[in-house]
Structure 1
């Protein structure tokens, strides 16, 4: 059974493998990270851990029993009881309900462990799976349209008082 783990230094090789293996899959629906992300991965990983240690962000991995990363689930820009949720799943881990279950779990953690009852999220219009996960886990569209690296996107919000509106 996959486990949600808080990002640690020793996760770096598995995270890099996850990002490399799924780069083309991700690029279909989310902006590509670019070559610099991979070239500077160690420095970027260390910077994420420093942000987490400072309480600015909370980074999580969905890891299978063999230590392989199946997904990344992040709460960034944590301040004043709110943060932005971002997530991505490995192609081979999609269509199994794992993203929905993990986002539900992370919403609970955000409110109870991190004092973040309000979560914001954005998803490109082309990213139907992520928009579906957000809706299933109680996020509602704000009506705001925006662009993520030139791609049309929608904004969502969820408060701890909101409940998921449809089953997994």
Structure 2
């Protein structure tokens, strides 16, 4: 079973490989990161670690048995007891429940380790997989939004009862 780990400097090579290998797959459902992201990856990785050190964000990777990264699950814009949740799973690992298990584990960490009381998320209406993960992990729809110009839904999840989220098993 993959291990959910807080992002570290030594994750950089595997993370870059993950992003490159899945670029087209991700771009089918979320905005592409653009060529500059890959050209300046090392600089961006250092900046993410600095944000994490400052407590602004918490970045996590799902690490497989061979050290490969199978997904990312992040909490960004931490403030006032909450944060925005975002995640992406490698194409070769999709459909196996990894996102659901990782989001459940992150809900537990968000409450217990990071002291958060709620999480927010958003998903495009046409992204059934992401909407299903959010529903299965205790998020409820609270509104509508546009994501890259396409209709989406906003979600919220209180963290007072992380038992609905459970832990990665």
TM range (shorter): over 0.9
> 1:28 matched to which residue of 2?
28
Q: Distance in 2 between matches of 1:150 and 1:132?
A: 21
Deviation at 1:151, TM superposition (A): 2.4
Shift >2 Å, 4+ stretches: 161-164
Q: Distance in 1 between matches of 2:73 and 2:118?
A: 16
Aligned length: 164
Unmatched tracts of structure 2, length 5 or more: none
> 2:157 matched to which residue of 1?
158
Mapped contact 2:111–2:160 kept (Cα < 8 A): no
> 1:107 matched to which residue of 2?
107
Give the alignment's Cα RMSD to 1 decimal.
1.3
TM-superposition CA deviations, 1:72-96 (whole Å, max 9, x none): 0000011111000000000111111
**TM-score calculated relative to the size of structure 1:** 0.94
Unmatched tracts of structure 1, length 5 or more: none
Q: Distance in 1 between matches of 2:92 and 2:99?
A: 12
Mapped contact 1:30–1:127 kept (Cα < 8 A): no
Q: Distance in 1 between matches of 2:129 and 2:148?
A: 19
